[in-house]
Structure 1
Amino acid sequence: MPPTTAELVRDRSLGDLLKHRDIVLEGREAPQRTARVELADMLSTDGTRADDAMVVASELIANAIRHAGGAVLMRIEVYEFGSALGVVDRAPDTRALPTIPFNSSTELADVATNGRGLFLVHTLASTWTVERITDGKIVIAVLTGAGSR
């Protein structure tokens, strides 16, 4: 099983923290657009797979909106060898997220109405995890630098 974000950061395999930004999403009319603008600003010059990060952030925010009453905050951390994206919501139930995403079928009859977002996150991120926090949970995805996936 791949390491969790906490394990990656603790053992320093992502290297030193270079940039950190928390973006308030609660109350924004277009939280996904806000996230993409901030990601473009932070990831534009460091080769941390910005396109993949945009998709991952959009999917995590969409999940928070659909299943947890909305995204409250997005945390972006850029390290020497990758980045970590976290989306905070106020729903405390971490069991609502499957540990293994489903719905990888491409057959029309087998495609479920839910589950594609986490499948994309699972596919694009090097690892992802969900952690309970004081007022809800944070879903974190780690994208390692290009070529080190």
Structure 2
Amino acid sequence: MPPTTAELVHDQSLGNLLDHCDVELAGLPAPQRSARVALTSFLDDADEGQVDDAMLIASELIANAVKHSPGAVLIRIEVYELGTALGVIDLGHDTNALPSHPCNSSVKPDTVATNGRGLFIIQNLADTWSVEETANGKIVIAVLTREGSR
């Protein structure tokens, strides 16, 4: 079983926090673009593949927040010695609405998934992901570890 986000982030398994930023997304006409710009500057020392994965994960997290909640409030980017944590905070309160095992329509023959493909992508690109309640909604967090750190 892969480590949980709490194990990777909260107990310092990713090492020390090197840098972080919160990018406000509420009310922006193109919130994914703002997140990509921030990721480009914050992950300038990461390899290109990890930056691409982080951008896709951020885009999917934001799209899910926009589609399934009252909207994305912000993206939190945290760069650690051994990886990166991306968290999208939204105003939705139903943490049980997120499937624990996201699927893609290609996984189950003769079915077409109408939702959950974004989390399926996140699950396959991130080392781990989770959802946690916040005071005003929830945060969905995805963690990418640096190659060779695990």
* TM-score normalised to structure 2 length: 0.92
SS in 1 for 2:36: helix
SS in 2 for 1:95: helix
Separation of aligned partners in 2, 1:4 and 1:118? 16
Separation of aligned partners in 2, 1:9 and 1:30? 29
SS in 2 for 1:22: strand
Separation of aligned partners in 1, 2:108 and 2:97? 25
Distance apart, 1:139 and its partner CA:
0.1
Separation of aligned partners in 1, 2:18 and 2:116? 33
Separation of aligned partners in 2, 1:137 and 1:16? 24
Distance apart, 1:110 and its partner CA:
2.3
Q: Give the fraction of aligned pairs with identical amino acids, expressed as a percent.
A: 62
Matched residue, 1:49: 50
Distance apart, 1:111 and its partner CA:
2.6
Matched residue, 1:93: 94
**Aligned AA (2:91):** R
Separation of aligned partners in 1, 2:19 and 2:131? 22
- Paired residues, number: 149
Unaligned runs of 5+ in 1: none
CA RMSD of aligned residues (A): 1.8
Distance apart, 1:13 and its partner CA:
1.6
Q: Does the aligned pair in 2 maintain the 1:104–1:119 contact within 8 Å?
A: no
Q: Does 1:32 align with 2:32?
A: yes
Q: Does the aligned pair in 2 maintain the 1:102–1:115 contact within 8 Å?
A: yes
Distance apart, 1:58 and its partner CA:
0.3
Which aligned pairs between 1:49-88 and structure 2 lie closer than 5 A?
A: 49-88=50-89
Distance apart, 1:122 and its partner CA:
0.1
Matched residue, 1:136: 137
Matched residue, 1:123: 124
Matched residue, 1:12: 12
Change in CA separation of 1:108 and 1:2 when aligned onto 2, cut-off 3 Å: closer
Distance apart, 1:45 and its partner CA:
1.3
SS in 2 for 1:110: coil
* TM-score normalised to structure 1 length: 0.92
**Aligned AA (1:39):** L
Separation of aligned partners in 2, 1:58 and 1:109? 28
